[in-house]
Each structure stands twice: as structure tokens, then as C-alpha cells.
Chain A
Amino acid sequence: AQSVSQHNHHVILSEAASLELGCNYSYGGTVNLFWYVQYPGQHLQLLLKYFSGDPLVKGIKGFEAEFIKSKFSFNLRKPSVQWSDTAEYFCAVRRRGTALIFGKGTTLSVSS
């Protein structure tokens, strides 16, 4: 079955620490990859996405993600987190003609 795995359920960091959230998927072939974020009390919103081309994509608020095809991974990174980055982060994958599949999410808590 198609799946998306997010390795960390809950990550706790101090402000200014670096962040990396793992995401792996189980499909072969061409995929589109997404990271969504849900801040407390807010809607799910797109953080960044990968279609094709440069495997390092940059998103909003200083986030970036790297697509490594050989590892079926799309890890999210930020060099220095802020308290306002406290949120739930979802990785999602889609192949042409199929539904968007979400991982279970990672809760990030940043202490000031």
C-alpha cells in the first residue's frame, strides 16, 4: 500500500536550534511532494512543494526541503527555529491521477 512515513511524532526544541523533520514515501515513479503546516487554531496551509527540477526547494518562513529520489525522502529543514514555528507539520505525496496521501504529522514545540 502507498504510504508516507514521518519519523518523529513530537519534536521539542529551543529557539535558535536547527530543525530537520524526516519524511519518506513508498512510491516509485514521478511524485509531487508537499509539506503542510497547521499553526495552533489555524487552517492547514502549504509550506512548500516540489514538482520537478532543483531538488532543494525553499518555502515560506525560512523553511526548505530536499528531495532525495534514491532515498524516497523529502526532509524539511530550518536552520534556526522560532517560538512561532510551534505547529504540526504534515508531509504529503501525490502521484499523477491519485489522491494526496498525508503522513501522520509531527508536532513541533519550540520553547523561548
Chain B
Amino acid sequence: EAGVAQSPRYKIIEKRQSVAFWCNPISGHATLYWYQQILGQGPKLLIQFQNNGVVDDSQLPKDRFSAERLKGVDSTLKIQPAKLEDSAVYLCASSLGERKSGETQYFGPGTRLLVL
């Protein structure tokens, strides 16, 4: 079974530039998550999709971050404009559905972003 795919793996940009990350979840997984992991911290949820609808985006900085999952499969997370404090690893995860709180989330390799 193929895992969660993410690209690019690394990205370096200057502040105020824009950047986009792509995620393809495990086939058949209805729920998709984007996390931000700052160095020395655990992952923090930015947004959760159930199919193509947003379930939770309470911690997404909506003035600069946006995400979409138009066809209910792959997803894109965008930052525009980027700030220095956005330097982090952006993780995508997926799970079968949202019916059980204990459902396992499967993580991708992450995109490491450095904002200069």
C-alpha cells in the first residue's frame, strides 16, 4: 500500500514570497490533515478535511494560509506571504474516516520550509 505522498521535500524562500505544498493521501482515505511542526515542538494541526469539506481550521492563520481539497483526494496548502516564523516542517496525514476519534493517522514525509 502506497503511503502519503508530499512534495516538495524541501523549500527555501524569502519572506513575503508565496509557497505551495502538495499532498496525496493514501487511496481511500476520506480524512486529510495538514500539520505544522516547528523545531523542538510536536506537530500542530492546521486544517482537517473530510472528503472535500473542512472539518477544523481553527488553528489555520487564515490571513496568510489557505488550503483546498477540491476533488476530495489530493490537497494543496499555500502560504502567501510567508513570514520568518513559518519556517517549519509541514506534515500531511490521512485516515480512513472521522467516525472514530481513535482512528490512526498516517503521516507523509513532510515538506521542510525555510523562510529567509
A residues less than 8 Å from B101 (CB atoms): 32, 94-98
Interface of B is mostly: loop
| CB proximity of B77 to chain A, nearest CB, Å | 16
User: How many residues of chain B are within 8 Å of chain A by beta carbon?
Assistant: 25
A4 touching B42, Cβ below 8 Å: yes
Residue on B nearest A96 in the bound complex, by CB: B101
Name 23 interchain pairs, CB-CB below 8 A, sorted by A: A4-B42, A32-B102, A43-B3, A43-B107, A43-B109, A44-B93, A44-B107, A45-B106, A46-B105, A49-B102, A49-B104, A50-B102, A51-B102, A97-B101, A98-B101, A99-B48, A99-B58, A100-B33, A102-B42, A103-B42, A104-B41, A105-B40, A105-B42
Residues on A lying within 8 angstroms of B by beta carbon are 4, 32, 36, 42-46, 49-51, 90, 92, 94-100, 102-105
